[in-house]
Amino acid sequence: MPARAASFVSSLLLVLAAACGGGQGASGGTTPAGGGKGAGTTRATGGEGGGSGGAAGQGGNGSTGGSGSGIALEGTTCPTRGCVFHPGVGAYFTCLSGGAGSCFHLGPRCAPADGCLYDPASKGYRACAQIVEGVCAGGFGAACTPASGCAYNPANGLHHTCEAWSGGSCTRWGATCAP
């Protein structure tokens, strides 16, 4: 019986992972599992077709579905992935797994949706109009407050909520948060 239970749990997790599929990343592009107009000509592999499109489109098998659509399970919610600052590299990356103020597994480089990035030189958050590969390429602008509510604390290298902001810097840190 324990083997059957383990098999059931494994199958359930596989179905839930397929339901989330790829989709929109924090930078607005699609992940490698993303859909879009496919260039595939056969369904032999069971794939959705090649290519990376923007919005929902047709896969190579002629079926319709959203970006990265696998199985649409009603009531299933997929985790949102944060775009976090990595101090060792000085760039932003998609956080695939994290908690307690830290990201344990980093994915591809990304850009925070609000364009408010941590600037290591000023030790504060600054607006950036041109973000390339997770780095501010056009130079930092005015001070800003990140919309996510979870900010990088250079004092301990973890992400915390901030209870008070001044000039793009947190003046009173709160509890750790999931980046």
Q: What is the arithmetic mean of pLDDT over 25-42?
A: 38
3-state SS, the chain, equals CHHHHHHHHHHHHHHHHHHHCCCECCCCCECCCCCCCCCCCCCCCCCCCCCCCCCCEECCCCCEECCCCCCCCCCCCCCCCCEEEECCCCEEEEEEEEECCEEEEEEEECCCCCCEEEECCCCEEEECCCEECCEECCCCCCECCCCCCEEEECCCCEEEEEEEEECCEEEEEEEECCC
pLDDT tier at 71, thresholds 50, 70, 90:
low
Please tell me the predicted confidence (pLDDT) of residue 7.
55
104-124 per-position pLDDT tens digit: 999 999 999 999 999 999 999
Q: Which residues contact 167 (CB under 8 A, 6 or more apart)?
A: 124, 143
pTM of the model: 0.60
Determine how many CB atoms are found less than 10 A away from the CB of residue 95: 23
- Over the chain, what is the mean pLDDT? 72
